[in-house]
Amino acid sequence: MAFLASSSAPKGATGVLVLADGTIVWGKGFGATGSAVGEVCFNTAMTGYQEVMTDPSYAAQIVNFTFPHIGNVGTNDEDYESRVEGAVGCIVREEVTRQSNFRSEGEFVEWMAKMGKIGLAGVDTRALTRRIRLSGAPNAVIAHDPKGNFDIDALLQRAQEWPGLEGMDLAQRVSREHQEDWEGGYWRLGHGYGRASRDAKPHVVAIDYGSKDNIFRNLVKAGARVTVVPARTSLEDITALKPDGVFLSNGPGDPAATGEYAVPVIKALLDADMPLFGICLGHQMLALAAGAKTVKMHQGHRGANHPVQRVGESWGETRDLVEITSMNHGFAVDGDTLPAGVEQTHVSLFDGSNCGIAISGKKAFGVQYHPEASPGPQDSFYLFEKFVGMLG
Amino acid sequence: MPKRTDISSILVIGAGPIIIGQACEFDYSGTQAIKALKEDGYRVILVNSNPATIMTDPEFADATYIEPITPEIVAKIISKEKPDAVLPTMGGQTALNCALKLEEMGVLKQHGVEMIGARADAIDKAENRQRFREAMDKIGLESARSGVAHTLAEAYEVLERTGLPSIIRPSFTMGGTGGGVAYNKAEFERIVKSGLDASPTTEVLIEESLLGWKEYEMEVVRDRNDNCIIVCSIENVDPMGVHTGDSITVAPALTLTDKEYQIMRNASINVLREIGVETGGSNVQFAVNPADGRLIVIEMNPRVSRSSALASKATGFPIARVAAKLAVGYTLDEITNEITGATPASFEPTIDYVVTKIPRFAFEKFKGADNHLSTAMKSVGEVMAIGRNFKESMQKALRGLETGLDGFNRVVELEGKSRDVITAALSQATPDRILHIAQAFREGFTVEEVQAITFYDPWFLRHIEEIIYEEKMIGAEGLPNNAAELRRLKAMGFSDKRLATLAVRSVGVAGGLGETQAKRSGLLHDALRAMAGATSEDEVRKLRQKLGVLPVFKRIDSCAAEFEAITPYMYSTYEAPSFGEPENEAWPSDREKIVILGGGPNRIGQGIEFDYCCVHACFALSEAGYETIMVNCNPETVSTDYDTSDRLYFEPLTAEDVLEILRVEHSKGTLKGVIVQFGGQTPLKLASALEKAGIPILGTSPDAIDLAEDRERFARLVNKLKLKQPENGIAYSEQEALAVAHRIGYPVLLRPSYVLGGRAMEIVDGDAQLINYINTAVEVSGDSPVLVDQYLRDAVECDVDALCDGDDVVIAGVMQHIEEAGVHSGDSACSLPPYSLPQDIIDEMERQADALARALQVRGLMNVQFAVKDGEVYLIEVNPRASRTVPFVAKASGSQIAKIAARVMAGEMLADLPKIKRDLDYVAVKEAVFPFARFPGSDPVLTPEMKSTGEVMGIDRDFATAYAKSQIAEGSVLPTEGTVFVSVKDSDKASIVGPVQQLVDFGFKVIATGGTASYLKEQGLPVERVNKVAEGRPHIVDKLSDGEVALVFNTTEGWQSHKDSQSIRASALEMKVPYYTTAAASAAAANAIVSVNADELEVRSLQDYYG
């Protein structure tokens, strides 16, 4: 490993990453001061850092960006994926450069501070990525102190004591507290976000396990009216909203843990033949509800270049087509555990892991990846149309 | 979907000679494509007129035709070979245009040949401006306001919509030939006319100017299942207005948010779908208004391009290989990513570094040419550099350019100049603009001010400003003496040499005294070093080593380390930031290894021929069991392909960068040595630094190479061997030069020492001309003398290539030049075997070459140039290294001389290696190809200064036919009737009679100027006198402009007549009238015209010739 396990700060070091195994990575802190604990994951996307940092699926995670220049386009008021907690911090190779973009409203460094997120610059992020590839995503504490004073022992203890994402239900932490009539439309250059029509049909109730806003914008674009409800909304409350279909959102943490309260609701909806569409965590819990199992992945899939192939007879002519997708998941549905009646519809071409299922005889399907993109390719918008289309 | 089984043979069309806008990237793509198709068992037929390509090596295609790429000739190949399909997307615009023409002529249909890779309609839709625009409208993409014109009147109608400035682009030309930006009506009219002329369809597109907008390119690949991927995004640092080939570019795009990037991504894919590119790679170009993000589609290329070569090297994704596989029916998911060996090609490469490309220009070669950059491409090569940040990447690219830069060198002409002068310099789009920007920051300009003038994005400008700020700090305080600080500087890409220069300045001795003292030794130097930290490149290196500041190597893996890469494709970086031991991914092997240093960016005088040699060295040494390690920084080349060598370092060819690679490679296994003799002058320049560092140099010793280039040492050797050289002398001043010239007698050849490509050479005929040369062309001083040679007027020049293993010498080929001695050998046509030399002369040249090889202890290749005059053989020069002629000799003779040489260099003996074929029952003629049309205002005459960018080969039973083919391949359409204009110097008058007589007998009409006309009349030839330009109108240029002349023979004597006749050659060039500027070439042309019927030319594959 390429890092010095020295516990005394080198000159000029104002930030540090302390891994649970005792590895210490020094650098320059930026953004918020203090410390935060989480799992270190890497993201290989070359654009969209603001979206990543505001994606609730990254709750309790520290994002190691593989692209060296972060901050180039600053931050703006549009490129948020949520207003709740996203990633707790990020690690970048280069010191954040000043922005240059006509949509920018501020510098990334200041934005990080405002958002309470800790940044660490000047790290060999490629070496860190290789380490994650070789030995899995580590738990760690990221800390920033402009004076460079760090109690390494205390930080290490915190990293070691943190239980990790496995078994952790984070959805509750980042989910909305109240029901919301979703009003945002999709984004257009020069126009910003449109407004959703409240008269639109069909009506989709979206369960927010830590959702990205762009999912709702895409549902609106596909023609739906969307009502977003908190993660722990009961079956009765959902049914009372008279949905034509229910959407299961993405979110952070272990699907098995969140599934403890979410899966029974999903199961009941499934039994009631409610049309369902799940993304990421929602996909995983749909699989759990259908009788499959999920597993923690070695290094996870996070980036905007992941090829996913359509598999199975139901695709007809578009079988075998490849979609380039945005991904962000550390857990996955174990494809070998799919029970009869659950069809595998998509697989990752990188490692063959499950990326989509459809429940036979039901209008219910889910994908592991992020068709809402933001950041990432928009090849898979058809899924929103497919879902909204089956509600009509 | 598996590969198609309904086709079994495929014709691949190459790109022909290296020209501006179409360089060795198409050898790279074609070679990849042929390998990919062969892998799948297809029979591959190749046509390419360029013998210096790897793709035309006979072991690649099943049938290799080195024949002109004209529809007529390719039709003959089709009718002979009956391929099932033709792949036209690998050979640039040349191949596309040829295929379209074949389709139009009905040849493809007649022989049942299917166009794969791109259909004719898709090509037309992409290339036809009007159809393209309609297609873009259909998918809701905005195009610039524009219109198509076929006449000047139509052009004025369009102008009313677009306004000035407007951009004029001719249809169906590559690299934008004939186009430009017009700021006023006069300019508009001029450019429209030249554009209409350049376009094969007499069509130009006139567009609203998007000057100052940001420019982007997307490299897209699509398969028959409609799977689309973006391989790479490229952002131009130079804003709109400069051709993308002439722009500094970076990858990936750095100033787009994800939302904006996805708009461009979707648009690119929609463009491919709408145009109908069903399989393969394409390039889509966009302009973006920096104020509001408004996106405009500029153009798309439905084929692999220069940008796709760059994208391939930048990401590790082999676009041409993949495109070839897609063309035969595979889909992206069925193709393996060769870099990871584990993932499929259906993904989008992601990179964790920044790539910078800087073009290289050759304006100094074309006196009188305008060096402003515009929408017509003018660069002759490019360098690519990789760093972990923009600064590192940019500074590595600057030093990799080999134009004498160590980084952002100061621009002396702008130092301390007024703001107006600097503003004026910044406003000009010239090759040096990036340096002017850096200088402006030194002179106190702000980012906002520079941006307002140049329209560069502030993101890039700030980085440059930060570099200049650091330079100032070093200049003030010297070098830091701690590892973290020094590493921080190195991570910004500063070279050791640049750091030394800056550090010396910190000592603050006024008037550059510090810099002078730093070069000396002794107490003063030691004091300086103590104050500055280091005063030379060597000292900076030692300081770095002492502090442990060393670069590490990272891998280009197409996936940002998400997966293990099996292909060792590497670049260096200083991992400054982690404060610890940086991670080095070089992981050298424990094998016995040989490092081959490449040639760097293409330039006139050093291009594909040297890359060919390097690639052959890799292949041969790999076959011999060595691990081959390639170092190069030219993204266009085959040598930088991921599977050419065992290990590839994409690095600048400077002593610093190469020594760091060798340090790492030396640390494990056995470094047998380095080959510096194959990449041209670039690696040779590093020989002494390598030797000093104790690195073994394979083959001929650098000392022997130096001996051959050092006049005095060489003269001693020549005397020892009792050989004859033209009289010569060295002059350190104008007076001395005059004295030497008087001793030798005019005409004399003048040149500065140590040259490649004959730069700044000139033949002078008298004192006035000599004085002018000394005062304007060179700096003559105690440090840089000028060399004066007896000029053997009208001598026949020859090249001899030989191989020597220390014991044994083998002659590989003797080439007789068509043009007489005095024309640079690289610009001269030549014939192998000689077409008119007596055997005893040939034997004598071979004997001399043999003696020289032994005397110089050559181990490997050697090239000797001779001049033959009055039965006497004169030795002109010896180059005991790979020369430009190597690929031609190899192709003409069917012998792998570069491979044999590489094995000799590694220690094998010629006796144990394949024999070289000398007994040929056919003739091969090499002809040079020139870029004069790109440089209006330059004189298209051949001189001792090399000006050609590439070469073609004509091969046939006899000399006349081979020569005719070489002319057709080069682009000259030899006329079969009409008027020949003759104006020759006195010494040529006798020798021109024969050729003119031949043409007269064939039915040509002859016109000539005064002296020539009288002489020809005296010889009984029917000739009409025409006015010289100075004699009043109508004169010869009027006749040329009116299209009354079909052929020009124009040779000149002396300076004045040369100047007087420039307009003749210029208008011949403009009117595309074949012109010959030497008597020998005129004779060869006349002979070809009367004895060769173009319609009856036969085609024959190399494999068939070789038997």
**β-pair partners for B804:** B809, B860
B754: left (phi over 0), alpha (psi -120 to 50) or beta: left
Q: What's residue A1's pLDDT?
A: 34
Dump the DSSP string for B1045-1093. Answer: -SEEEE---HHHHHHHTHHHHHHHHHTT--EE-SHHHHHHHHHHHHH--
Res B816: pLDDT = 97
* Cβ contact B358:B401 at 8 Å: yes
The DSSP secondary-structure symbol of B56 reads T
Do B861 and B881 form a contact (C-beta atoms < 8 A)? yes
Share of chain B above pLDDT 90, in %: 78
Higher pLDDT among residues B1053 and B650, named by residue: B650
Q: Are A114 and A105 in contact (CB under 8 A)?
A: no
**CB interface of A with B, residues 348-387, below 8 Å:** 349-350, 373-379
**Chain B interface, mutation test: which of A324, A347, A382, most B Cβ atoms within 10 Å?**
A324
Q: Is the pLDDT of residue B755 over 60?
A: no
With CA atoms as reference, report the closest residue to B330 among B534, B40, B601. Answer: B40
DSSP label of B510: G
In this model, does residue B515 exceed pLDDT 60? no
Contact residues, B window 203-262, toward A, CB-based 8 Å cutoff: 225-229, 252-262
Nearest alpha-carbon partner for B726 in B871, B840, B866: B866
Dist CA B1058 CA B1079 (whole Å): 15
φ/ψ (deg, to 5) at B184: -140, 175
Average pLDDT over residues A72-92: 96
pLDDT digits (tens, 9 = 90+) for B247-286: 999 999 999 999 999 999 999 999 999 999 989 999 999 9
Q: Which amino acid is at B487?
A: R
Catalytic site includes residue A329: no
Query: Cβ distance A118 to A53 under 8 Å?
Result: no
Predicted confidence (pLDDT) at residue B47 exceeds the cutoff of 80: yes
Estimate to the nearest angstrom the gap between the alpha carbon of B250 and the chain centroid: 20
pLDDT tens digits, one per residue of A296-355? 998 899 999 999 999 988 898 899 999 999 999 999 999 999 999 999 999 999 999 999
The yes-or-no verdict on residue B1076 having pLDDT over 70 is yes
Residue ranges of domains in chain A: 15-161, 171-389
A297 at interface of B, judged by CB pairs closer than 8 A:
no
Q: DSSP readout, A164-200? A: -STT---HHHHS-SS-EE--EEEEETTTEEEE--TT-
Residue B580's pLDDT band (cuts 50, 70, 90): low
pLDDT in tens, B980-989: 999 998 889 9
| Cβ-defined contact of A48 to B257 (cutoff 8 Å) | yes
Q: What is the mean pLDDT of residues B917-928?
A: 95
pTM recorded for the entire structure = 0.94
Q: B279 is written with which tokens?
A: 């399989």
Is the pLDDT at B759 greater than 60? The verdict is no
- Establish, for the pair of chains A and B, how many residue pairs have beta carbons separated by less than 8 Å: 211
3-state secondary structure of B504: helix
Sketch out chain B's domains with CATH numbers. Answer: 9-116 (3.40.50.20), 145-208 (3.30.1490.20), 211-349 (3.30.470.20), 588-700 (3.40.50.20), 727-790 (3.30.1490.20), 973-1096 (3.40.50.1380)
Q: State residue B823's pLDDT score.
A: 87
Give which of B20, B15, B211, B22 is closest to B935, Cα–Cα.
Answer: B20
pLDDT band at B756 (very low <50, low <70, confident <90, very high): very low
Q: Phi first, then psi: what are they for B151, rounded to 5°?
A: -140, 165
pLDDT in tens, B455-481: 999 999 999 999 999 999 999 999 999
User: Band of the pLDDT at B1054, cuts 50, 70, 90?
Assistant: low
Confidence at residue A12, expressed as pLDDT on a 0 to 100 scale: 85
Task: Output the pLDDT for position B556.
Answer: 96
Residue B223 pLDDT class (50, 70, 90 cuts): very high
Fold of A171-389: Rossmann fold (3.40.50)
User: Which SS3 state, helix, strand or coil, does residue B472 take?
Assistant: helix
Interface test with B, best of A69, A298, A379 (most B CBs within 10 A): A69
Question: What's the one-letter identity of residue B216?
Answer: Y
A15-161 placed in CATH 3.50.30.20: yes
The pLDDT of residue B276: 94
Cα angle B308, B309, B312 (rounded to 5 degrees) comes to 85
A window 231-260, beta carbon within 8 A of B: none
ipTM metric: 0.97
pLDDT at B855 over 60: yes
**Is A370 considered catalytic here?**
yes
Whether B562 and chain A come into contact, CB under 8 Å, resolves to: yes
Q: Which of A280, A306, A323, A346 is catalytic?
A: A280
Q: Which of A301, A306, A329, A370 is catalytic?
A: A370
Contacts A99 to B, Cβ<8 Å = 459
Question: Per-residue pLDDT averaged across B523-540, rounded?
Answer: 82
CB atoms within 10 A of CB B807: 10
Contact predicate A386/A369, CB 8 Å: no
Nearest to B562 by CA among A321, A137, A375: A137
- pLDDT value at residue B197: 87
A11: number of Cβ within 10 Å: 9
Confidence check: pLDDT of B757 > 50:
no
Q: How confident is the model at residue B521 (pLDDT cuts 50, 70, 90)?
A: low
> Per residue in B282-312, pLDDT tens?
999 999 999 999 999 999 999 999 999 999 9
- Residue A389's pLDDT band (boundaries 50, 70, 90)? very high
Distance from CA of B943 to the nearest CA of A (A): 49
pLDDT digits (tens, 9 = 90+) for B706-752: 999 887 899 899 999 999 999 988 888 889 999 999 999 998 988 87
Is pLDDT at B966 greater than 60 in this prediction? yes
A127: nearest CA in chain B? Answer: B583
Residue B763: what pLDDT? 80
B792 known ligand binder: yes
| For B458, nearest residue in chain A (alpha carbons) | A100
The reported pLDDT for the residue numbered B516 is 58
**Among B residues 350-389, those touching chain A with beta carbons less than 8 Å apart:** 350-354, 388-389
Q: Determine which of B393, B570, B578, B581 to mutate to test the interface with A (most A C-beta atoms within 10 Å).
A: B578
The pLDDT value recorded for residue B782 is 61
Tell if the CB–CB gap between A25 and B575 is shorter than 8 Å: no
What is the share, in percent, of chain A residues with pLDDT greater than 70?
Answer: 98
Mean pLDDT of chain A: 95
pLDDT at B579: 43
pLDDT at B37 over 70: yes
Predicted local confidence at residue B356, as pLDDT = 98
CA distances from A15 to A146, B473, B502 (A): 8, 26, 32
Active site residue A372: yes
CB-based contact B295 A189, cutoff 8 Å: yes
In this predicted structure, the answer to whether residue B944 has a pLDDT above a threshold of 90 is: no
Where is B439: in which H helix or E strand? helix B433-442
Confidence of residue B217 (pLDDT cuts 50, 70, 90): very high
The answer to whether B446 contacts chain A (CB < 8 Å) is no
